[in-house]
Amino acid sequence: MGRLSRAAGLARSLALYHGIPFRARRLARLYAPFLAPGALAFDVGAHAGNRVRAFRRLGARVVAVEPQPDFVRLLRALYGRDRAVAIVAAAVGAVPGEAQLLVSERTPTVTTLSSEWARRVAADPSFRGVSWQPGTRVPVTTLDELVAAHGRPDFVKLDVEGAEAAALAGLSAAVPALSFEYLAAAREVALACVDRLAALGPYEFNWSAGERQRLAAARWLEPDAIRAVLRGLAAGSGDVYARLGT
């Protein structure tokens, strides 16, 4: 049953991220202001690789970071021959080392390193029926190590299911732009990300709700304003975008 559930989860991810018409085009429009041709993007939590596809559509070089072995194999099948894509089989955290994944076989999109995050979101209605089991141990790298190995990125996408703040704790210098996932049921993670970025540099913020692939605010917001947005969320998820102010 475990293998069947995992296969079903992989198929669901492929259909969700690669099977929706025009999604890649919408994503490319969203990321175009951050990535000129030849720019460098880090896709941290690359999963099934739909963001890699969008970044490559814009002509960017990509470092795709993914800890789940099944998705590493998928990424290598999709992009292994593309010299502009480097695939790193690891999780990203505050310090280098090794950690155990908490795996959701049927919904691998919510596999996480954070037991606290899993506990918090399990009570949210959108996670009804989701459960986690101890999975494989995986290597953990840091954003600083990735920068040292591949260069300073122009954009970093963080989608690591509750480990976003830990990942940013492993970044010691500001990067031009990045995004991180928010979830109303665990908004303290997103708030911690805002705090970390505000400490690193003069960032301004925006957000995109759900899978709309467009920014919600007409103007970029100061840290206190995006904190107010996050605290006011009744439900739902999406991504916060941050860029260094001019």
| Fold exhibited by the domain 2-177 | Rossmann fold (3.40.50)
Least confident of 88-97, 106-115, 212-221: 106-115
Structural contact between residues 196 and 156, judged by C-beta atoms closer than 8 angstroms: no
Determine the Cα–Cα distance for residues 232 and 88; give it in Å rounded to an integer. Answer: 36
- What is the SS3 assignment for 95? coil
Determine the Cα–Cα distance for residues 160 and 66; give it in Å rounded to an integer. Answer: 9
Token output for 56: 């490559």
Closest to 178 in 3D by CA, of 192, 166, 163, 164: 164
> What average pLDDT does the segment 99-116 reach?
89
Q: What is the DSSP track for 108-160?
A: GGG-BS-HHHHHHHTTSGGGTT---EEEEEEEEE-HHHHHHHH---SEEEE--
- Measured CA distances, 101 to 108, 132, 140, 142, 168 (Å): 11, 9, 11, 16, 19
Question: What are the boundaries of each domain within the chain?
Answer: 2-177
Closest to 30 in 3D by CA, of 6, 58, 5, 11: 58
- pLDDT at 1 (0 to 100): 44
Q: Which residue has the tokens 């975008």?
A: 241
Closest to 45 in 3D by CA, of 71, 73, 15: 71
pLDDT band at 104 (very low <50, low <70, confident <90, very high): confident
> What average pLDDT does the segment 46-50 reach?
92
Name the maximum alpha-carbon separation found in the chain: 54
- Measured CA distances, 169 to 37, 70, 172, 242 (Å): 29, 27, 7, 16
Pick the more confident residue, 197 or 236.
197
Determine the Cα–Cα distance for residues 210 and 171; give it in Å rounded to an integer. Answer: 26
pLDDT band at 220 (very low <50, low <70, confident <90, very high): very high
Q: In this model, does residue 164 exceed pLDDT 60?
A: yes
What is the share, in percent, of the chain residues with pLDDT greater than 90?
A: 71
